[in-house]
Amino acid sequence: EAGVVQSPRYKIIEKKQPVAFWCNPISGHNTLYWYLQNLGQGPELLIRYENEEAVDDSQLPKDRFSAERLKGVDSTLKIQPAELGDSAVYLCATSDNGDTGELFFGEGSRLTVL
Amino acid sequence: QKEVEQNSGPLSVPEGAIASLNCTYSDRGSQSFFWYRQYSGKSPELIMSIYSNGDKEDGRFTAQLNKASQYVSLLIRDSQPSDSATYLCAPRNGGFKTIFGAGTRLFVKA
């Protein structure tokens, strides 16, 4: 069974440019999370989806970040415009329909803003 | 006070020894508790989950939970160099929100 797929793995952009990250969940996993991880820190939740509904986006900086999960499968996280402080690893994670809470992470997208 | 506190380490243990990783959390509504292992440059992977007070053993790993003390720990027996990684403590509250600690770096010396 394929795991969580993310792309791109690496992205280098100049500040003020836009960037987008894509995530394809494990088949059948209805809950999808976007996390941000800075070096030496644990992942920080940006947004959680249940199917296509964003049920927790309280930590998403909505002035520059946006996310969508059309049809409740793939998801895209966008930053526009990017700032130097956005340099981090953006992790997508999914969980199954059960209530275990276990998260399965993709390989992450490492963003460098110059 | 941080929501999840872990000693950042590094925790250095000799091969074959027991590594003990500790974590405290502030949200008394936390109901599920997870330990994730993260190798350098890789994404976190789940290694243990625990839902009730007491101990849970899985191979060389034992998770311990004390909700009254808001404390959860992970013991790694017979530590191997391949166990060298960052271990993330992650409680999940009743609102299905998982909060991660900053992690403890473990180094197992061969």
Q: Is the Cβ of A27 closer than 8 Å to some Cβ of chain B?
A: no
Closest C-alpha to B105, from A20, A9, A43, A42? A42
Name the residue type at position A69.
R
C-alpha distance from A108 to closest chain B C-alpha (Å): 7
Q: Which residue ranges of chain A lie beneath pLDDT 70?
A: 1, 97-99
pLDDT value of residue B14? 97
Q: DSSP state, A70?
A: G
Mutate to test the interface with B, among A6, A38, A41 (most CBs of B within 10 A): A41
Cα nearest neighbour of B89 on chain A: A42
Residue A111: CA atoms inside 13 Å, Cβ hemisphere, count? Answer: 29
Strand order from edge to edge, sheet including A19-24: A5-7, A19-24, A75-79, A65-68
pLDDT value of residue B9? 86
pLDDT value of residue A24? 96
The partner residue sitting opposite A43, judged by closest CB among B8, B44, B45, is B44
Contact between B89 and B5 under an 8 Å Cβ cutoff? The reply is no
Contact between A83 and A90 under an 8 Å Cβ cutoff? The reply is no
Number of H helices, E strands in chain B: 0, 10
**R_g over Cα of chain A:** 13
pLDDT value of residue B93? 85
A42–B98: do the CB atoms touch at under 8 Å? no
Q: Which residue ranges of chain B lie beneath pLDDT 50?
A: none
- Mapped onto helix, strand or coil, the DSSP state of residue B49 is strand
The partner residue sitting opposite B97, judged by closest CB among A45, A91, A100, is A45
Q: B33 - beta bridge partners? A: B50, B91
The partner residue sitting opposite B100, judged by closest CB among A42, A102, A108, is A42
Q: Is the Cβ of A106 closer than 8 Å to some Cβ of chain B?
A: yes
Nearest-angstrom CA–CA distance, B32 and B39: 23
Cα nearest neighbour of A90 on chain B: B43
